Structure 1
Amino acid sequence: MIEEKDTTPAEKDGKYEFQMHYSGREVSCRVEKEQNKLIVHIEDNIEAELTIQDDGSVVQTGGNELPDSAIDYIKKRILG
C-alpha cells in the first residue's frame, strides 16, 4: 500500500512578515509556514528552519543558530 503524503494546507499555512528585535536592533523577519515547518529569513543574511513538534513546541532543525527568545517570539507571532 502506498502512503500519500499529507499535502493539504495546515492551519495558518502561508507567508508572514513582521519586525522583530534581534541582535540589539529592529530587523525585518519573513516566515514561510508549510505544514509543521517554519522557514525563517531575518533581513537577507540569516536563514533558519524551525519544526513544530506534536506537543506544540518549536525546535530549530537547521540554518543559522537563533536564540531561544527569537524562536519564542516567532512561535507566538505565527501560532498565537
Structure 2
Amino acid sequence: MSPLPLHLDALPPGRPTLAAVFETYLSLSVGESLEVRSAQDLHAVRLHLQSVLGAEHLWKPGQAGPGTWTATITKLRAFESCCGACG
C-alpha cells in the first residue's frame, strides 16, 4: 500500500496537534504506512499521540528516501473521535 501523507506544514514547530493528523490516522490499519517530510515531524507526532493514547508503540518509523520518512502502523486505532486535548 502507498503511504498516506500527513500535512504538518501549518503546525507550530515542536507542537503538532492530534487534530492535524486525526483523520489520516483514523483511516489507517495495522501494516499500512503514513508519510511525513522529516524524522522530526514523525517523532513529534508520535510523542503527541503516545501522550494522548498512553501507547508505547503506535508505529515503526523508517526512511523511505531522501527527505521522506515513513511509518508502519503497529497498533489499531485506540479511539473513535478526537479527545480535544490538543485544542
Q: Shorter chain as normaliser: what TM range?
A: under 0.3
Which structure ranks higher in relative contact order (CA pairs < 8 Å, sequence separation ≥ 6)?
2
Question: Which of the two has higher C-alpha Rg?
Answer: 1
Q: Report the TM-score when normalising by structure 1.
A: 0.27
More strand by proportion, 1 or 2? 1
More helix by proportion, 1 or 2? 2
Q: Report the TM-score when normalising by structure 2.
A: 0.26
